[in-house]
Structure 1
C-alpha cells in the first residue's frame, strides 16, 4: 500500500487550501499512491473562535470537492480534518475518508478535545466552540483495515487500542501539535502507540507558519509496528511517500504476542463488594 502524506501550508481562505491540496495531489500523482492524507483543520486557520465561521455540513462544498478529488485520482483520500456543522448547529473537528470512486466510507469526529493550560502561558480550548465525537472509527480497504484518530486522540491509549481491537493494522492521525508539545511528544506518541498496538501509525501535520495564530510543529511521521520511524518530514510544506505492507502487523503480533497475551480477567479493580470495571 503506497501512502502519500501531504504537509500543506494553511491559508485563510478555504478554497485556497483546497487548491493547495489539489496541486499537491497532482504533484504526487505520478508516484501512484493508493492513499492520500492531509493534516488537521487543513482548510482553515487552527484558531478555535474561527471554526464556526468555516464549518460546513457533511455533503457541503468542501465535502464535494474532496469526494471529486478522490474519484479523479482514483485514491483513498483521508483528507485531514475540517470543521463540520451538524443539523443542530454543533461544530465538530471531523475527518472524512473517501474511497477510489469518491464515496464516503468513514467519518471520525475528534473525541478528545484539546483543552490545555501550560506553565509557559500557552493555552488552547477547543471546547469553547467544538463538540466532541462519541465513537471510534475504522474502515476497510483491499489492503486491510485502517483506523482514524485526530491529533489529541493519540494521547489516550484506549483510543488506539480500541481501533486495534477492531482489526486496524494502521491508524491515520491528522494532527497539529504545537511548538511546545511537538518537540516533546510528537515522535514519542507515534512510536508509543505503534509499539502498544503493533500497528503502523501515520501522522500527517500541517506545515509550520510562524505568522499564524497557531504554529504547528510539522514533522509528518510514519512509524511501523515495531515502533521504528520509517519516515519523518521537517516543518516545511511538501509531501512524502512510503510503501507499507499491513501484513507486517500480523508478523509482529505473532513474534511478540502483546495483544493476545493480555490478561483481560485482571484488568479491573476488585473490591470486597465485587468488581468495578
Structure 2
C-alpha cells in the first residue's frame, strides 16, 4: 500500500475556506503521485483553535465539508482520512473521518484525550473503532490521544495493523527548522513498538492564532518503533511510503488482564486522584535519588560493591538508592545482609533480583529492616518515606497497563528492570513514555544502561555504559502527584475509565465515533 501523509499549513478559523481549498488541492497532488491512502491533519477545517468561532452563527458552519471529502475520495478512487470539527447531537467534536474509494464513510472517531483549551469547545470521544480495509485493519487517533496508552492498545487488541494519527502537534522555539514534540521524539515510536503496529502521522506547520505553533514532522513509524521516513518542521509536504500490513509484525508481550482492574476504577476513588489534593511538606518532598550500575562475578563481589555504593550514595546526600539486579535467587536474604550497611537518617535502598522460585522481585530496605517486596503479580505500590514505589520487570514495562495501574494506585516512583529482549533505544523510548504518560519518576535499568527519568519524560540522569558508576537526580514527589500537563489536560481526571473495559475483559463492543 502506498500511503501519503499530507502536511498542511495551519490557518486561523477566519481562513477556513482557503484552508479547505488547500487541503483538496493536496489530495489531488497526492493522488497523482500514486497514493492509495491519503492522510490529512487534525481539524484542518475550520481550524484547531476555535476561540470566538464556536458559536452557532460562526461563518464556517455555513459549509459542510464532509460531502467534499467524500466526493474527492470517490473521484480519485482513494482511501481518504481527514480531521474536521464535526457536530453531532448538538455537540462539537474534534473528529477524524475515513472514506473509502467509493466515497462512503468507513470509520469515524473523535478525539478523547482533550488537550489544553480543547474542552472549552469540543466534547471527548469515548469509543475507539476499527475498520477492515483491503490493506488490513485500520484504526484512527487524534493528536493527544497518542499521549495516553489506553487508546492505541484498545485499537491493537481489536486487530489494528495501522493507526492513522491526525495531529496538530505544537512546539516552541526560535528556529522553525528545528521544531519538535515529545510525541514525535519518543511517545509515538513507543506506541508503535509496544503494540506492534504501524503508525502514520499527518501534522501541520506554521503559526495559528498567534499562539499555536505547529511543528510538522509528519512521519511513518514501523512496528518496531523505527521512524521510516519523516517530513521537516517548516513547510507543507507530501510524505510517501510503501508499507505492507500483511507482513507479520512483532507480538506485544503477554498480557494479564485480570491484574488490570485498576484501569476501570472510578477516578475519584483512585489514590492518584486523591494525592493531588494532599499536602506534602518540603522536607518530605525532595528525595535525592541514586541509581547504581556495577558489575560483579559472584555473590561476594556483589555484596562488597553494594556496600561501597550504599555508603557513597549516603555520603553524597541520597535518600533513596537503587542497586543493580542481584545475582542468584535469594534477593530478600541479600537485602537483609545489606540493610546493616544503610546509614542512619531515614535512607532507603532497593535491590532487584529473583525470589527462590526464580520470579523477579524488588526488595526495599532501610537500616536493619526490610520494608517490603514488590513483584509483577501485585500491581500496587509500597508506601515509604521516599514516596510510593512500584516496580515492573522485563516485558511488564513494555506493556503499558502495569505502570498505568501502579500510577492509578498512587505510585510516585516506578522501577523498571528491563529484560533486554528488545532494542535498547526502543526500551528508553518506552521508559520515557511511561514516565510522561503517567507523570511519575522512572528508574530504568537495561543491561549496562541506567537512567532516572522525570514526569515530563526528560532523562534527568544516566550512567556511562562502561565501568561502575552511580548517578543521582532530585525527585520531587509533588511533581509526580501533580497530574496536570497543561491547563485542561490532567492525566488522571481526564481519563474515561468506563471506555477502557476492553483492556480488562474479553469481547468487543460495537461503537462508532464519540457517541
Give the TM-score, by structure 2 length: 0.47
Question: Is 1:56–1:83's contact at 8 Å kept on the other side of the alignment?
Answer: no
Quote how far apart the aligned CAs of 1:10 are. Answer: 2.9
1:99 matched to 2:91? The reply is no
* Aligned ranges 1:79-228 → 2 under 5 Å: 79=82, 81-88=83-90, 90-115=91-116, 125-180=117-172, 182-209=180-207, 212-228=210-226
Measure the CA separation in 1 of the matches of 2:60 and 2:128.
21
Quote how far apart the aligned CAs of 1:82 are. Answer: 1.1
1:263 matched to 2:256? The reply is yes
Change in 2 beyond 3 A, CA 1:146/1:128: same
Change in 2 beyond 3 A, CA 1:50/1:95: farther
Quote how far apart the aligned CAs of 1:3 are. Answer: 0.4
Measure the CA separation in 2 of the matches of 1:98 and 1:50.
30
1:72 matched to 2:79? The reply is no
Quote how far apart the aligned CAs of 1:210 are. Answer: 7.0
Could you tell me which runs of 5 or more consecutive residues in structure 1 were left unpaired when the two chains were aligned: 116-124
Change in 2 beyond 3 A, CA 1:51/1:112: farther
Between stretches 190-199 and 130-139, larger displacement belongs to 130-139
Quote how far apart the aligned CAs of 1:27 are. Answer: 1.9
Which 4+ runs in 1 deviate beyond 6 A? none
Measure the CA separation in 2 of the matches of 1:66 and 1:50.
26
Question: Is 2:31–2:78's contact at 8 Å kept on the other side of the alignment?
Answer: no
Q: Which residue of 1 aligns with 2:310?
A: none
RMSD: 2.3
Quote how far apart the aligned CAs of 1:140 are. Answer: 1.4
Measure the CA separation in 2 of the matches of 1:263 and 1:189.
23
Quote how far apart the aligned CAs of 1:148 are. Answer: 0.4
Quote how far apart the aligned CAs of 1:211 are. Answer: 7.0
Question: Is 2:146–2:183's contact at 8 Å kept on the other side of the alignment?
Answer: no
Q: Which residue of 2 aligns with 1:15?
A: 17
Measure the CA separation in 1 of the matches of 2:244 and 2:106.
21
Measure the CA separation in 2 of the matches of 1:251 and 1:127.
36
Question: Is 1:9–1:206's contact at 8 Å kept on the other side of the alignment?
Answer: yes
Give the TM-score, by structure 1 length: 0.84
Between stretches 96-105 and 43-52, larger displacement belongs to 43-52
Question: Is 1:71–1:100's contact at 8 Å kept on the other side of the alignment?
Answer: yes
Matched residues, number: 254
Quote how far apart the aligned CAs of 1:264 are. Answer: 2.6
Q: Secondary structure at the match of 1:46?
A: coil
Larger Rg: 2
Q: Secondary structure at the match of 1:252?
A: coil
Q: Which residue of 1 aligns with 2:266?
A: none
Measure the CA separation in 2 of the matches of 1:251 and 1:199.
7
Q: Which residue of 2 aligns with 1:25?
A: 27
Could you tell me which runs of 5 or more consecutive residues in structure 2 were left unpaired when the two chains were aligned: 173-178, 263-377, 380-408, 410-503, 505-515
Quote how far apart the aligned CAs of 1:156 are. Answer: 0.9
Q: Secondary structure at the match of 1:226?
A: coil
Change in 2 beyond 3 A, CA 1:191/1:87: same
